Amino acid sequence: MTTTARSGSDVPDLDVFEHHRQDEADAAFLYRVLAGAEADERKRTLYLKLADVEDRHTVIWEELLRQYGRSVTPHRPSARTRLLAALGRRLGPGFLLPMLLAEEGREVKGYLDMHRTTASGVAGKGEALTLARESAHHAETLNEISGKTGEPWHRMGSGGLLRNLVYGFNDGLTANFGLVAGVIGASASAQHHTVIVAGVAGLIADALSMGSSGYLAAKSEAEVYAHEIAMERDEIAMMPEVERDELALIYEAKGIEPETARRLATQVMADPKMMLAEQVQEELGISEPHMSPLREGWVTGAATAVGALIPVFPFFFWQGSVAIITAFAVAMLSHWLVGAARSVFTGRSVFRSGLDMFVVGLGVAVVGYFVGEWISGML
């Protein structure tokens, strides 16, 4: 867990110093555990060198603590560190390496935040920037060993995760509540009316749920991206050589000669705005949004309403088995047509894409029917 220094004060926050000292000492401990579990001699040597560097980082914070009168006790690994070490010894480097990579990423972010929020002239500001740069190099080294690219302190995946969480929770809660409320409200009516009211209640609840989910998810994702862009802007200002090398490597990966790639990266670096735009596009993979969160909410809600109307509208015109058969036929045809339309984007055959959706829709209908019949029989 990263911590930043208190801003607006000439007195350094010794608790922050103590926190970073613990983090660095824990990292050195884990690097040695990782080295002990590593069979590859070259990697083992590298991990031990990284442990030595973390020891030097620990000394920096210990000296600052003593300078301001805080006594330094012998290091004792935190409970989380001891747990990771035990799991690393049992599960091997494949488990522990990603954990240390994530920790280095958190250190970079924490030190950059500390440098930005600590007032000029206050102890810890310069040290934070120096350690952010060294931790960035550590993270890039671990990235190479892991076969990954990019900067691990940027968490672009969180946008997609956040979107899934918001969609799932909001849709499940709101739509289900609306449907249950609709059925309860119609329980005293005839069966035909119950189907219509439940269907319309589900349509409205689902459309509102998905529309609000689309808006909230898009807005949350935009906030994540804005935070990452702001962080990238700080990195360009505070660690220009790291960002320049990162951009040069991206150019090299595209087939540009190393010398040319470095020269291009240096030229781009001369213009901070151009550098930020290039890094946002090339490294973070963030492009301009296709639509605003509000519009995305409307589009999602409207599409949900149209889809939810399809199995309900036959009951407005027919009753009994005619309405049921018509609703089933229209719904299944719609599933096939939507699946077939996917072939435009996936390149698969129209028939197979339509069949996928048809089977899914049929499975949902069968399960829903028999579960409803089972529950009805129990009541």
What CA–CA distances, in Å, run from 146 to 17, 143, 151, 214? 30, 5, 13, 35
CATH number of 14-146: 1.20.1260.10
pTM as predicted: 0.49
Q: Which of 32-36, 134-138, 167-171, 233-237 has the highest mean pLDDT?
A: 32-36
- Asked if residue 8 has pLDDT above 70, the reply is no
Instruction: For the beta carbon of residue 371, count every other beta carbon within 10 angstroms.
Output: 10
Q: Retrieve residue 356's tokens.
A: 């996928």
Q: Residues 202-207: what's their mean pLDDT?
A: 78
Can you list the alpha helix ranges (DSSP code H) found in 287-349? Answer: 293-309, 314-317, 320-346
> Cα–Cα distance between 129 and 112 in angstroms, integer?
6
Closest CA to 57 of 132, 150, 141: 132
Closest CA to 148 of 91, 88, 98, 107: 98
pLDDT tier for residue 254 given thresholds of 50, 70 and 90: low
What b/e string do you get for 244-278 counting C-beta neighbours within 10 Å, with b at 16 or more?
Answer: bbbbbbbbbeeebeeeebbeebeebbeeeeebbeb
The predicted structure's pLDDT at residue 80? 87
Number of H helices, E strands in the chain: 14, 0
> Cα–Cα distance between 253 and 237 in angstroms, integer?
24
